[in-house]
Chain A
Amino acid sequence: MKHLNLFIFFLLGTLFLGFSSQIKFSTNFLEVFFSKESATLLDVTSKLGLSNNIYVAKKGFTEESLHELRIIADKLQNIEGISKVKLSLSPSKKLREYYKKNYYLLADFNRTKLSSRQIHEKLQTAYDALQEAYIYMPLDTNDPLGLFSVNVSRNEAYMKLQDYGYVLKAEVNINTSSAAEAKVLYTKVNALLKEHKDILVYAPFFFLVENSTYIRSDTQKIITFATILLLLLYFFMLKNHRLLFHTIIAIGSSVLGAILASAYLFGSVNIMVLAFGISITTISIDYMFHYYFHGDFSNKGFIRQKRVFFGFLTTFGVFVIFSFISIRLFHELAFFAAVSLLIAYVLFSWAFSYLEIEKPPVTGSRFAFKRVNPLYLLLLSVVLFGYSYTHLKFDDDLRNLDYKNERLLALSQQFRKGLMQSRYQTVLLSDTTRELLLQKYERLQIKHPEILGIGKFLLSRRKCEERRGALEAFDFRKIRQTIQTEAKKIGFANVFEHLYTGLERMDCDNMHVLDDMGFKIVKEDDGRYYTVVFIPKDETLTKMEGVEILDIAKHLSQDMQNSKQTIVKFMTVSIVFIVAMLVLVSGINILYPLVYIVFPLSVVLFGITLSGMINIMHLFALIILIAIGIDYGVYMHRTTTQTETMTAIKYALLSTLAGFGVLIFSDTVALHSIGFVITVGIGAVFILLWGISDR
């Protein structure tokens, strides 16, 4: 039994190694916050190819720039993961052939009937224009009357980045939401472009690669920093190397157990869950300190310390409550924390009792402070709460939680504005069938003639048959004869032999989606068909079912607002649970332990109010703070061993500060927010330890 702690560690370690190939760690930070609707939306945009492009811009609008881009395009084409590279804006041969095949169905058709005289006049005008023209415009010998027309709005031969240079677009066929796949392509593309100068390269998925790489390294640095701080704490303050060794083993076992359970239940462990989960596990050290400074490790068998048990039960209970929350990150993290705290509690209460660790000498503090009635701090808390309630604002922009990748953000802005994307609003159309989706496009086209989308190349069956009917009803046989007769009279050479070629071969079955169209129709798991269209920004979008402006940020913001409401609900349930536990422990006299929750909470909220807006990670850290605070409230409440209890709490607080407070140094806002709450909260608990009277 003496080696029970080690045995459990090796058992869990062996299980972890045995299943290591199946345990996946995901690094996608933001997706853990998404609702199902937002996730579907992101999936649709990915399938529609909106986020699957890499843009490469070469400085200058010269032939040399184009030449260099052509070289880059050839190289990119050979990279695995890139399906197509486009430099010229002109339609591909395949698309031209498709358009030619369906020309009379797709082009605008002026079905006004013309008399022989009107035809003569039109031909005469064309004849005169050819004679007098100073610019070269070839005569359209297929349709000299201009019955069919196509609105060509494109004036450019190449895509340009405003005030910079020409741009090429590479389409990728990897899963851009997979950090691993995205990173491989990111590395290859950047290695290829390294030898080229004055190049800008941007793709939306670069955020995932760069940010997850940064967050991973940031997390690693912080974990290393926290570990060093904890080691210093144990080596130089506690001076008990054996206790340190076994505590690390116990924490390690708790984390391993939680990883195994999480991986089994959720399929993968998010790196953020792991980072926070390890930090939360270190809270359990306060059980160990309480036992240690009270000499509980000298007796073998399960340690039954009512205060520690209640402290654990309250914290565990809060995390169990939160494991039912619908927000994926918090649900997974609460589960992780509950499992790791349970294992840690069992290990410290059971396995540590066989280690035969003696009680250390404990001396009281030489400093004496005048202690105040907790009621005063409760009143101060009410004032702070009042101030925060009236001044605090919730930050619902999920992107603000991510690492602020200033370089990429600026680049994204430059491409968004420079490629003229800002002139259009992106609109998502959806319907239950492909035909209804195309009909929806056509209805929208009537209201928004400048619309760009798949409907430029593809008609609904209804509209196509209608057009075919109109073509059949129009007397082209007579038109052909009249043109040929009148042209001869005017003096044209015999150039109108093949008028309206292919008109009789028009068939709606020839219409289909081509990759080269630049627009797609995708079917989602919900059975609906989706496509994206672009409508000028200055036009107000017509309200219609299945037509919405594609604004993922707005969706995510709504997700955040919903998450906030959910968290507040769960916090309320948790506080009710905590109060119930306090009543169980201390009867009706709960003021003293309650102030350990209320005061730190009010101070932290006040601090957040002064420093900016409250975000979802602040909210989660507040839950952790409540869980920590209540432990100390229970330990300190009418304790008869004040010196031992305070020493235990002091060490536990320093451990938590080392484990959690260091997050304040992170550049990732999510981590920094947690660090801020814990650091300020622990500061408030220190004030309570030395500042309030329990009598």
Chain B
Amino acid sequence: MRSLLILVFTTLLFAEAYDFDENKFVFAIGNTFHKVGRIDYSKEKATITYSHPKYKQIVKVDNNISIEGSSGKRYYLKGKALSHTKAFIDIMIRLGEYREIKNNKDFDVKKEGERYLLTFKGEMKQMLPKAEVRTEGKKVKSFKLFMNNGDTLEIVKR
């Protein structure tokens, strides 16, 4: 019983979440697409639930990612889709936390007022050369990813 309580407390302790607005600019079609969602994450699991414009849930457990729509039909990602989405979820979690921005080894950080400019290193740089994080005190307010192909992806915390 005691072990179970510890497990529950630990899970609660490490489980975090935030609601967000997502603005995705796709250079190839010259349009920005807006979505609303929430991310819940712990050490073991991450879930992104979009509520607008449509319900969609993306769940990452271990190395598997599944997507489920309003119909309840679920499918698992493979290949490039899997690796891209994994990287994207990882970034959403890391850039959403102020301490991660300060400590992360995968990018160089330059501070300009309440704005942090991140330059990615290693393999990540192939797809995502830089990002911009806006903070308020020690809290992240929003971040924007600048892709190599001209696409941008902005997450604004609600």
Of the stretches A256-264, A488-496, A639-647, A680-688, the one at the interface is A488-496
Q: A88-B123, A152-B80 are in contact. Are A134 and B58 (CB under 8 A)?
A: yes
The complex places the Cα of A135 from the Cα of B147 at a distance, in Å, of: 14
B18 contacts A by Cβ under 8 Å: no
Q: A152-B79, A495-B27 are in contact. Are A135 and B123 (CB under 8 A)?
A: no
Known: A157-B123, A492-B28, A493-B29. 7 other contacts (CB 8 A): A88-B123, A90-B122, A131-B26, A135-B84, A136-B85, A152-B80, A155-B63
- Interface residue from B30, B67, B105, B153 paired with A136 (Cβ < 8 Å): B153
A-B contact pairs, 10 of them (CB 8 A): A62-B43, A67-B105, A136-B151, A136-B153, A139-B26, A152-B79, A492-B29, A493-B27, A493-B28, A493-B29
- Interface residue from B63, B67, B84 paired with A137 (Cβ < 8 Å): B84
Whole-angstrom distance between the Cβ of B96 and the nearest chain A Cβ: 15
Per-residue A-contact encoding for B145-158, CB less than 8 Å = 1, 0 else: 00101010100000
The complex places the Cα of A130 from the Cα of B123 at a distance, in Å, of: 24
Cβ–Cβ < 8 Å partners of B105 in chain A: 67, 70
B29, B30, B88: which has the most chain A beta carbons within 10 Å? B29
Whole-angstrom distance between the Cβ of B140 and the nearest chain A Cβ: 18
- Interface residue from B28, B31, B67 paired with A495 (Cβ < 8 Å): B28
Q: Which of B50-102 contact A (CB under 8 A)?
A: 50, 56, 58, 63, 67, 77, 79-85, 88
Determine if A130 and B84 form an interchain contact, defined as CB atoms under 8 angstroms apart. no
- Interface residue from A138, A491, A492 paired with B151 (Cβ < 8 Å): A138
Kindly report which residue of chain B lies nearest to residue A144, judged by CB atoms: B28
Determine if A493 and B30 form an interchain contact, defined as CB atoms under 8 angstroms apart. yes
Whole-angstrom distance between the Cβ of A494 and the nearest chain B Cβ: 9
Cβ–Cβ < 8 Å partners of B85 in chain A: 135-136
Per-residue A-contact encoding for B27-42, CB less than 8 Å = 1, 0 else: 1111101010000000
The complex places the Cα of A671 from the Cα of B99 at a distance, in Å, of: 61
A98 contacts B by Cβ under 8 Å: no
The complex places the Cα of A155 from the Cα of B78 at a distance, in Å, of: 8
The 5 closest A-B pairs by CB, nearest first: A90-B123, A135-B85, A134-B56, A495-B28, A493-B30
B127 contacts A by Cβ under 8 Å: yes
Cβ–Cβ < 8 Å partners of B127 in chain A: 138
Determine if B151 and A135 form an interchain contact, defined as CB atoms under 8 angstroms apart. no
Determine if B33 and A155 form an interchain contact, defined as CB atoms under 8 angstroms apart. no
Cβ–Cβ < 8 Å partners of B88 in chain A: 135-136
Determine if A130 and B29 form an interchain contact, defined as CB atoms under 8 angstroms apart. yes
A422 contacts B by Cβ under 8 Å: no
A651 contacts B by Cβ under 8 Å: no
Determine if A131 and B83 form an interchain contact, defined as CB atoms under 8 angstroms apart. no
Kindly report which residue of chain B lies nearest to residue A67, judged by CB atoms: B105
Kindly report which residue of chain A lies nearest to residue B123, judged by CB atoms: A90
The complex places the Cα of A131 from the Cα of B26 at a distance, in Å, of: 8
Whole-angstrom distance between the Cβ of B105 and the nearest chain A Cβ: 7
Cβ–Cβ < 8 Å partners of A96 in chain B: 126
The majority secondary structure among interface residues of chain A is: loop
The complex places the Cα of A495 from the Cα of B67 at a distance, in Å, of: 29
The complex places the Cα of A157 from the Cα of B124 at a distance, in Å, of: 11
Per-residue B-contact encoding for A137-173, CB less than 8 Å = 1, 0 else: 1110100000000001011110000000000000000
B115 contacts A by Cβ under 8 Å: no
The complex places the Cα of A139 from the Cα of B127 at a distance, in Å, of: 12
The complex places the Cα of A131 from the Cα of B53 at a distance, in Å, of: 12
Q: A67-B105, A155-B82, A495-B27 are in contact. Are A131 and B77 (CB under 8 A)?
A: no
Determine if B149 and A139 form an interchain contact, defined as CB atoms under 8 angstroms apart. yes
The complex places the Cα of A327 from the Cα of B147 at a distance, in Å, of: 66
Q: Which of B103-158 contact A (CB under 8 A)?
A: 105, 122-123, 126-127, 147, 149, 151, 153
Determine if B63 and A130 form an interchain contact, defined as CB atoms under 8 angstroms apart. no
Determine if B80 and A141 form an interchain contact, defined as CB atoms under 8 angstroms apart. no
The complex places the Cα of A137 from the Cα of B86 at a distance, in Å, of: 11
Whole-angstrom distance between the Cβ of B55 and the nearest chain A Cβ: 10
The complex places the Cα of A502 from the Cα of B90 at a distance, in Å, of: 33
Kindly report which residue of chain B lies nearest to residue A151, judged by CB atoms: B79
The complex places the Cα of A127 from the Cα of B30 at a distance, in Å, of: 11
Cβ–Cβ < 8 Å partners of A134 in chain B: 35, 50, 56, 58, 67
The complex places the Cα of A154 from the Cα of B123 at a distance, in Å, of: 14
The complex places the Cα of A139 from the Cα of B24 at a distance, in Å, of: 14
Whole-angstrom distance between the Cβ of A149 and the nearest chain B Cβ: 9
- Interface residue from B26, B63, B77 paired with A156 (Cβ < 8 Å): B63
Whole-angstrom distance between the Cβ of B124 and the nearest chain A Cβ: 10
Cβ–Cβ < 8 Å partners of A131 in chain B: 26, 29, 31, 33
The complex places the Cα of A136 from the Cα of B88 at a distance, in Å, of: 7
Cβ–Cβ < 8 Å partners of B83 in chain A: 152, 154-155
The complex places the Cα of A341 from the Cα of B81 at a distance, in Å, of: 75
Q: Which of A76-131 contact B (CB under 8 A)?
A: 88, 90, 96, 127, 130-131
Cβ–Cβ < 8 Å partners of A130 in chain B: 26, 28-29
The complex places the Cα of A54 from the Cα of B157 at a distance, in Å, of: 45
Cβ–Cβ < 8 Å partners of B26 in chain A: 130-131, 139
The complex places the Cα of A491 from the Cα of B28 at a distance, in Å, of: 9
Whole-angstrom distance between the Cβ of B154 and the nearest chain A Cβ: 12
Determine if B28 and A135 form an interchain contact, defined as CB atoms under 8 angstroms apart. no
Kindly report which residue of chain B lies nearest to residue A491, judged by CB atoms: B29
